[in-house]
Structure 1
Amino acid sequence: MDSDSVGSQEYSLLKDLRLQIEPKDGTFSLCFWLYFTTSSTFPSTIIQQVYSDISESAPFLVIDDNKRIHLLPVVLLHEEAPDTGNINSWAEVPHATVDFKFPLEKWVHVGCQVCPDYIQLQINGEIVGEKSLCSLLNEKSGSSDLKKLTLANVGGDGNSVQGYVHNFEIFPSISSVKDYHLKDPPLKLSIDESSVSEIEEESDGVWAVVGGKASCRRNFSMDVVLSDAFGQPVDKENEVFASLLYADTRVPVENTTDDEAPLLASYDGIEFSSHERPSKLLLGRASFKLKISQLSSKCDNRFFLIRFCVPKLGNYPFLETYSHPIRCISRSRNTRLSTLVWKRSTVLNFSSVSQSSALDDGSLELQHSGHEAQANPLVKRFRIGQDKTPVSVKTDPTFEQPDEECNSHVQNATQVENEFPRSFDGRPANFNEAYDSPSDSESIGEGNSPLNSMASKRYPISDMTIFKYCLASLAEKSLILKEITTSAPDKEILELANHVSHYSGCSHHGNQILIAKRLISHGRNLWKEMSLNNHHIPWENGVYDIQKHFKMIACCGSRSLSPQDLNLLRKIAGSQEYLTQENFEKLWCWLYPVAITISREWINPIWKSTSPKWIEGFITKEEAEASLQGPTGFQEPGTFVLRFPTSRSWPHPDAGSLVVTYVGNDYKLHHRLLSLHQAYGSYNNGDKRVDVKPLQDMLLAEPELSQLGR
C-alpha cells in the first residue's frame, strides 16, 4: 500500500465499510475487490458519500435492479451531483456506468477515479465508463480542497445488498488503479467438478451416492481447489475439512446410533471420520476420497450436502464450497436412474464437468431407454437425446475414412480398429445384445442378474476378473488390461468389453478396453522406434515421431500440431528435457484416445477446420477459460470453445472425449463433456440414419451455445 493511501487489506463485510479521505484539488481514487452473495437484492446503494456538516448522505456507487453498477458525481465538487436525502435522485443525474451485469458469488475488482471535470469507472483493471462533468471548485471563494469526505455503506435506504470487500484503498490523488488490480487478489474455494468420480448425476441434478454399512458403501472422490480471483491455484499450507449437512437446513448430520461418523474419509484403505482427517492443500488442490455411512435406510427421503472449508483462513462464504445435493442410496434399492432427454431435434449428449448441476430447460423430460437407463452409481453422466427416443444409427462395420489422407490408414485397419465390427463411437456391433433384457434391479446380486443368466456359460476371462476390473482404480485397470492384452485373443477382449460395459452401465468403459491392445502395442513399437533401446531420449528428438504417428492415427495430414499443442504434450510427459519410457507412456495414454476420436467421421472435419477453428487443439482448462474473457469480463453468454480434457487419460472412460467450455447466462463458466454415441454410434434394425446433422450444427442448436469463441 502506498504511503498516502488509506484502506484495509483484510476481508470485511460491505456493511462495515467506512473510510475517510481529504481530497486535494478535488481529486481522489479508490479501488477494492467486491463480492456479492446470492442473498443480495437489488437495486441498492453500495457506497454513500457522507460529509460532517451535511446531515444527509448522497449515493456514490450504486447497483440497479439489472445488476449494473453506476458511479455518481460528488457533492460539493460537481454541479450534477445527486440530491442528499433522496436515494432515487441518482437516476436523474449523469453517471458513469457499465453495460453488463455484475456477477454474484464472484470477486470483481472495482476502481473509481474522481476529478473536478470527470469521473471514471474501472472493472477488473479496464475502463468501462467515463462521464464529463462541470466543476464547482472555481465557485468556492478560492478554496481548492474539499471538506473531509467519508465513504461508507451506511444503510438506511432500504437496501439489502449483502457482500464483502477486500483490499479497499483510497488515494488522495489520481493513481493508476489498474496497477492495484493485480495486487493481493482475494481467494475462493471451489470444487473441481472435472475431478468428481464414482457419482451418478440423476435426472434432477442430484448426485446419487451408494452408502450404508461398511460392506456396501462405495468410495467417491473429488478435488477441492483454493484459487485466487484470476483462477490460479494458490499454494498455501492449509487443511481443508469436509462435513456432511442436511441440504434443507444446512445443519450438520449427527452420528449414527452406533456413533459412526456420517461422512468418512478413506486413506490407504482405512476409514476415518472426515472431521478427524482433513486433506492438506498441495499446490492449491486438496483431494478427497469419501464414503457416506449408514444413512440410506434412515434418511432415504432427505438430501445432503458436503461442505468443504478452510477454518484457518476464516469463516467466509467464498472460503467454503458445497457439493450438489446428494441422495444417499442403498446398493440393493430397486431404483432405475433416468436418462435426461432434450425434447428437441438435436441429439448432443452432455456430461456435466462444470460448476453447474444440470442444464436448466423447461423441455427436459425423463426417459428410460434400454440399457442406458440402468446407469450405475459408479458413473457420472447424463445424456441429451431426441424427442424422447435416442437416435440410432446403423453403419457399415468398415471404418469410413474421410479423405485421401487416410488411404494408407485404411489398408492398415488392424492397426486402428483391430478388425472389430464397431460403431462410430468405437463400440462393438453386438453391444446391444447384452442389453436386450434389462433387469428391474440395479443390484448386481439379485433379481434377473446377468450372472444368473450366464451361469451355464464359461469364458476364458473369469467373472472375478470382470468385477475386479469394474471396481478397480484407473491404475489397477491399466495393469489388468496390460496383462490381459498380452495373451488374450480379440474375441475375449471383445467379450470383456461387453461385460464391463453391461455391469458398469456405461459403454465408455468398453471403448477403452477395445482400444487397449492397439494402444499398448502401438505405443511399445513407437517407443522402440524412437529410443533405439535407450532408457531416455531428448524431447526434441522424439517429438517428430510422436507427431507423425498422431497424424496417421488421427487421419489428418493437413493440420499439424502447433507449438502450443506440443507444449501441452510436454507438460503431460513431465516437462523434462529428456523423455523416459515411463513419461512417454503417460503422454501416449492421453494422446492415443484423442487421436482415435479425431479419426471419427464426425470429428475429423472440424479438427481439420482452422477457419473457423472449431477445436482449439490441446489446451488446458485454464487456457480455455482465459480465451472466453474480454477486457471487461467474460464474453457474451453462449460463447464457447471445444477442447480435449487434459485430466482424462486411458483407461478413464472419458479419455479422448471433447469438452465444451462456455459462458452461461449467469455469466459463469461451465464445462460439459460431449457424449456423441447416441447421435452417431448406435444401431437400429439395420437402417442408417441420413438426417443426422453435422456436429457444428448440433452445437449451435443448443440454447446454451450461440457462437464460437476466439
Structure 2
Amino acid sequence: MAVKLSKAFAVFDNDEYLPLDDLQVTLTRENTSEDGTYTLCLWMYLLKNNRHPGVIIRQVSLLFSSHELKRVCAMFLCMQSTSSIQSLPFLSLDNDLRLVLHPLVQTESSELDVLADQSCPVEKWVHVGCEIGHNIARLHIDGVVTGEKAISFPSCDETVEPVKLSGGDGQNRGGFVQAYAHHVCVLPQPSVTNHYVKNPPLELSLDGSTGGSEDHELEEGGDGVWSVVGGKASCRRNFALDVVLLDALGRAIHKDIELVASLVYADTGYLVEKPKDDAEAPLLTTFDGVEFPSTERPIKLVHGRASFKLKISQLSSKCDNRLFRVCFESPNIPKFPFLRVFSRPIRCVSRNRNSRTPSAPWKRSFAAVYPVDGTTLPSAAEDRPETLRANESNGMAAPNSCGEKAFSDYVVFKYCLETIHSRAAFLRALVVSKTEEELHEFAGRVSQYTGCQHNGYQVLIAKKLLREGEDIWRQVSHDGYSAPWPSLMSKVEESFYNISGQSKRRFTSKDIEFIQQNCGTGSATTTREQFDRLWQWLYPVAMTVATPQVRKTWESVTPKWIEGMVSRKEAEELLRGVDGIPKTGNFILRFASSRSWPHPDAGALVASYVTDDLRINHRLLNLDTRTW
C-alpha cells in the first residue's frame, strides 16, 4: 500500500516529492503479509554534499527484551561504514556508496548483511527496494536484484506495533545525509518491479544533442568548456539550448509548466548581475527579432521540450575571466535540485578576441583593393581591403572630406542591431544611391560600432556582389522570374573562377549537388529568390578562395586539404570512415553552409576534427591575414 506523506509537495498534480527530513512512515501488520514479510520501495535522490556515516531513514519501535518493553531507535536506511554494530533491520550506504541491507537480529556480526554489488549514484534518481522475506532478504536497485542472502528473523512477538520510519537522524534538519524521496510505499508482496515502472519521478535535463547545430554558435574546447561569442549587441551570437522534462526511466513527459533561463557563475552558482543599473541583462533571449532579459520571457514546455535561443551580453573577461553556466528552472514550482538543470561551463568571448580593433582614427585609403565599382579584382596579396586590416591600421573610419557624416548615428546603430535579412535589404538600397566614399565611411562606422571588422567588410563587398549577381541573372533569365538550372549553374561557376582567381579546381557533380541542397534550388529551373540565396552564400566563398593562402590550399587536390562543399553531417561521416571509428588528428576543412552575406562569417572556413577522446568537434576559423 502507498504511504501517505503529509508534508510532501504536490509539484505536478499528485506527483509528490519531499525532503528527507519530512519523511514519516508507519509500518503496521496491515502493510505486511500473513507471515510478517514486507517490501519497502522508494525513489531516492541523494545530493552531492553528503557526509557519511549518516542516517537516511531511522526506525523507532517497541521491543520486548527480558520481559521488559523498551523503546528502540535504530537506523533503517543510512550512509555509514559496514563495520558499525547493528541491532534492528536497516539499509545502509557504505563508504563506497554501496547499499547494505542488515537483518533483524540481535548481533554485532555483519555476516548476514546484504551488500549491493554497485555504487549508489548521487544527483540522480535511484529506485531502492528492500524485500524482507520469511527467510531471505533482497536488495533491489533500479528494479534489479543487486544482493540477497538467506537470513532468519526473530518471532513477531518480540515487537510491538507500530514501527515508525522517519527521515534523517532526528537531531536536526539538514543532517549528514541530504536527499529527496518520492513515491514511498510499503507493500505486502515483493512487487518491486511494478513499483519501479508505475510512477517514476521527474527531472529536468539538457538535451544531449544541444550545441551540435550547423550554426557552430557553441564551440567546445578540449576541457569541455563551451565558448560563446557575446558582448556587444551587433556581435554577440544566438546559441540554442533545449531542455527536456524526463521521468527517471528516460521518457519525455508533458506538463503544463514554463521555464526561464538565467546566467550564473559556474564556480558558485550565484546569479551574474548587471555591472550597472542601466546595463543590459547578462542573459538575453530573442522574440520576433527583439531582445529581452531571459528571466522576463518564460518558455512553455511543448511535448516535454522547451527550446531557448539565448545571447550573453556579459564577457568572461569583464568578470575576472570566470566561467558561466545557464540555469533553467520554473518560477512556479518548488526549487528542487532535480527540477533545475545547468549547462556546461561557458566562456563568453568577444568576436575579435584574437584581433581587437584599435580605438584610434582609422588611417586608410579609399582605393580599397576589394573595389566596389565593379572593376576587376586583383589576385595577389594586396587584394585584402586595407579598411579591414585592423591589425595594420590605427583606428576607424573618419568622416568625409567635408567633415560631415553621410549617415546619422541612428542609421548606423539601427543597421548594427538589425537581422541579417534586414541588413541585406538595407544594403541593396544603399549601393544604388551612395558613392564609394560614402560606402567606405559607412563600413568603417559599422566596424567601429560593432567592434567587428567583418561587419564592415560585408558592406564593402555589397556593391560588387549585387552587381555581378544582377548581371548573371539578366544573362540566363528570359522572363525575369526563373532561369534554367544548367545554364545558371554554368554561369555561376564561371563567375566563381573569375572572382577566386583560380581555374585548376573545377566544381564536381557532388559540389553542385551540395550547392543545390544548401540553397534550395530546383534541378530544372531556379527562381530569383533561390538564386539570390545561392549567390549570397557562394560569392563570399569565392572571396575567401581568392586570398593567396586559401587559394593555394583550395587548388591542392592530392592531398585534398579543403573538402569545401560538404555539410556538417557529411563531414562527420567522412571522419568516422567505413568502420565508424574516427581517428585522432583527422580533420576536414569546409565552408560554413549556414553563413550567407551579409553575415560577418559569410564565406568562413570550418574545421571539423577528431579530438584525443575520439569526439568530433567543429570550429569556425579566423581568416584574418595576420593569423596565417
Does 2:258 align with 1:247? no
The SS at the match of 1:637 is: coil
Q: What is residue 707 of structure 1 aligned with on the other side?
A: none
Alignment RMSD, CA only?
A: 5.5
Q: CA deviation at 1:291?
A: 6.4
Q: Once the two structures are superposed, what CA deviation does each residue of 1:418-465 show, in whole Å capped at 9, x if it has no partner?
A: x899844444388678635x9xxxxxxxxxxx99x9999213233333
Q: Select which of 492, 497, 514 maps to 2:460.
A: 514
Q: Deviations over 1:43-77 (max 9, x none)?
A: xxxxxxxxxxxxxxxxxxxxxxxxxxxxxxxxxxx
Residue identity in the other structure for 2:613? D
Q: Judging changes above 3 Å, is the alpha-carbon distance between structure 1 residues 430 and 622 closer, same or farther for their aligned structure 2 residues?
A: closer
TM-score (structure 1 length as normaliser): 0.46
Partner in structure 1 of residue 357 of structure 2: 371
Pairs within 5 Å for 1:463-474 = 463-474=409-420
* Residues in 2 aligned to 1:550 and 1:236: alpha-carbon distance in whole angstroms: 51
CA distance in 1 between counterparts of 2:293 and 2:368 reads 51
- State the partner residue of 1:305: 325
Closer, same or farther in 2 for the Cα pair 1:240/1:653, shift >3 Å?
A: farther
Q: Decide whether the 8 Å contact of 2:217 with 2:229 is kept in 1.
A: no
1:528 deviates by 1.2
Check if 1:428 corresponds to 2:387. yes
1:585 counterpart residue number: 532
What pairs up with 1:377-392 in 2 under 5 angstroms?
Answer: none
* Distance change in 2, residues 1:280/1:428 (3 Å): farther
Residue deviations 1:586-643, cap 9 Å, x none? 1100000111111222222221221111111311111111111135544322111110
CA positional deviation for 1:264: 4.9
Provide closer, same or farther for how the CA distance between residues 287 and 476 of structure 1 changes in structure 2, counting only shifts above 3 A: farther
Secondary structure at 1:322 match in 2: coil
Q: Distance in 1 between matches of 2:352 and 2:459?
A: 26
Q: Please name the residue that 1:662 is paired with.
A: 609
Cα distance between partner residues in 1 of 2:210 and 2:546: 35
- Post-superposition shift, 1:484? 1.2
| Deviation of the 1:496 alpha carbon | 1.9
Match of 1:650 among 573, 597, 622: 597
Contact 1:572 1:586 in 2 (8 A): no
Determine the C-alpha separation between the residues in 1 that align with 2:260 and 2:327.
6
Q: Which amino acid counterpart does residue 598 of structure 2 have in structure 1?
A: P
Paired residues of 1:642 and 1:660 also in contact (CA < 8 A): yes
SS at match of 2:215: strand
Pairwise mapping of residues 455-534 of structure 1 onto structure 2 (< 5 A)? Answer: 457-534=403-480
Question: Compared with structure 1, are the counterparts of its residues 254 and 652 closer, same or farther at alpha carbon in structure 2 (3 Å cutoff)?
Answer: closer
Q: Which structure 2 residue ranges, 5 or more long, are not aligned?
A: 1-114, 118-142, 149-205, 245-251, 331-336, 361-366
CA contact (8 A) 1:425 1:677 kept: no
Give 1:221-240 correspondences, 5 Å limit: 221-224=238-241
Counterpart of 1:613 (choices 534, 552, 560) is 560
AA at the equivalent of 2:559: P
Structure 1 Cα separation of the partners of residues 411 and 292 of structure 2: 26
Question: Tell me, what secondary structure is at the counterpart of 2:562?
Answer: coil
Distance 2:300 2:435 in 1: 44
Q: Which residue of 1 aligns with 2:573?
A: 626
Q: What's the counterpart of residue 322 of structure 1?
A: 344
Partners of 1:466 and 1:474 lie apart in 2 by 14
Change (3 A) 1:316 1:426: farther
Is the 1:267–1:289 Cα contact (8 Å) retained in structure 2?
no
> Counterpart amino acid of 1:655?
A
The code of the aligned residue for 2:507 comes to L
Q: 1:537 aligns with which of 478, 483, 491?
A: 483
Amino acid at match of 1:305: R
Tell me the residue number matched to 1:603: 550
Contact residue 325 and residue 342 of structure 2 kept, 8 A: no
Is contact 1:427-1:510 (8 Å) kept?
no
Whether 1:551 aligns to 2:497 is yes
| Distance 1:490-1:564 versus aligned 2 partners, 3 A rule | same
Aligned positions, number: 405
Measured in 2, the distance between the counterparts of 1:612 and 1:620 equals: 20
Q: CA deviation at 1:574?
A: 1.7
How big is the shift at 1:646?
Answer: 0.2
Partner of residue 278, structure 1: 299
Distance 1:455 1:425 in 2: 24
Tell which has more relative contact order, 1 or 2 (C-alpha 8 A, sep 6+).
1
Structure 1: unaligned runs, 5 residues or longer: 1-84, 88-150, 157-185, 228-234, 328-335, 341-368, 375-395, 400-409, 439-449, 681-694, 696-710
Conserved in 2, the CA contact under 8 Å of 1:512 and 1:650?
Answer: yes
CA shift in 2, pair 1:541/1:480, >3 Å:
same
Please state if 1:672 is matched with 2:619.
yes
Aligned-partner SS, 1:662: strand
CA pair 596-247 structure 1, distance change in 2 beyond 3 A: same
In 2, Cα distance between equivalents of 1:428 and 1:373: 14
Q: Which letter does structure 2 place at the counterpart of 1:647?
A: S
Give the Cα–Cα distance (whole angstroms) in 2 for the partners of residues 277 and 301 of structure 1.
29
Contact 2:607 2:621 in 1 (8 A): yes
Match of 2:211 in 1: 191
Asked if structure 2 preserves the Cα contact closer than 8 Å seen for 1:224 and 1:287, the reply is: yes
Instruction: Give the secondary-structure state (helix, strand or coil) at the position aligned to 1:190.
Output: coil
Return the offset for 1:522: 0.5
Cα distance in 2 between the residues matched to 1:494 and 1:218:
20
Which residue pairs with 1:635 in the alignment? 582
Cα 1:321/1:613, change in 2 over 3 Å = same
State the SS of the aligned residue for 1:492: helix
The answer as to whether partners of 2:575 and 2:587 remain within 8 angstroms in 1 is: yes
1:28-47 paired onto structure 2 within 5 Å: none
Deviations 1:173-216 (A, max 9, x none): xxxxxxxxxxxxx97231246636699x9xx98657559xxxx9
Q: What is the rounded CA distance, in whole Å, between the counterparts of 2:414 and 2:522 in structure 1?
A: 35
Change (3 A) 1:251 1:339: closer
Q: CA deviation at 1:543?
A: 2.0
